[in-house]
Amino acid sequence: DSGVTQTPKHLITATGQRVTLRCSPRSGDLSVYWYQQSLDQGLQFLIQYYNGEERAKGNILERFSAQQFPDLHSELNLSSLELGDSALYFCASSDRGPGNTIYFGEGSWLTVV
Amino acid sequence: QQQVKQSPQSLIVQKGGIPIINCAYENTAFDYFPWYQQFPGKGPALLIAIRPDVSEKKEGRFTISFNKSAKQFSLHIMDSQPGDSATYFCAARDNYGQNFVFGPGTRLSVLP
C-alpha cells in the first residue's frame, strides 16, 4: 500500500458526460501528479500540483482540468468525454525532500461507452 | 531534452535468466533515477532508485548500473522468476521542477 488513495476505482460513463476523479496523497506529501495510461501504453503525464498551486503541465486536454485543495487532496475533472478517454488514471504524490520520489495510487479505471 | 528513452520494448527470458533493461536521457538537470514495476491493473510501485553520484546500487535481486558520462542507466534482474513478469518503467526526476519523466516501459515475461 503506497498510501495514495484514489476513488472511484472503476467508473463507466457515456460519451459527452463529465466525471471527477479524486486523490488523497500520502500523509505529509505536498505534490500531487496525475498520469493517464491507456491500454498497453506508457504513463502520460497530465499535470502536477504543489501545495495547491499548479507546478507543471503535460499533455492535458483542454476538456480536462484539475485542482488541489487546501487539505492537499486533488481532483481531476474530465468533461465532454470521448471513447478515447477510456484509460487508467493514476494519481501520485511526493514530498519535496532531496530523496523524494513519487508513489502511485492504484488508479481509477474509466470506461467511456 | 525532457525525454527518457527505454529499451527494449519487450523482453522474454527463461527462469533464472538475467534480463537487462536500458534507459538513456539528455537532460543534465535530472538528479534522481527510480525504477517502477507495474503489474496489470495495478499502480506502478517503486522498485529501486539511484542518484548520479553512485555507479551501482543493489537491492536483493535488482541492480541499477549508472553511467553518468554516457547518461545511461540500466536495471538488471538476477535469477529472474515468473513472478517478475511485469512492465518496468525507468524514470528521471528534474531537479528544477521536481517533475518526473518516465520511459515508455518494458514488458518483461519470465518463462517457467
In this complex, is the C-beta atom of B49 within 8 Å of any C-beta atom belonging to chain A?
yes
Closest CA to B98 of B31, B49, B43: B31
What is the band of B72 on the pLDDT scale with cuts at 50, 70, 90? very high
Q: Do B104 and A42 touch (CB under 8 A)?
A: yes
Region B42-61: mean pLDDT is 93
In this complex, is the C-beta atom of B35 within 8 Å of any C-beta atom belonging to chain A?
no
In this complex, is the C-beta atom of A97 within 8 Å of any C-beta atom belonging to chain B?
no
- The answer to whether B89 and B102 are in contact (CB under 8 A) is yes
B-chain CB neighbours of A45 within 8 Å are 99-102
Look at residue A91 in the predicted model and tell me its pLDDT. Answer: 97
Look at residue B94 in the predicted model and tell me its pLDDT. Answer: 82
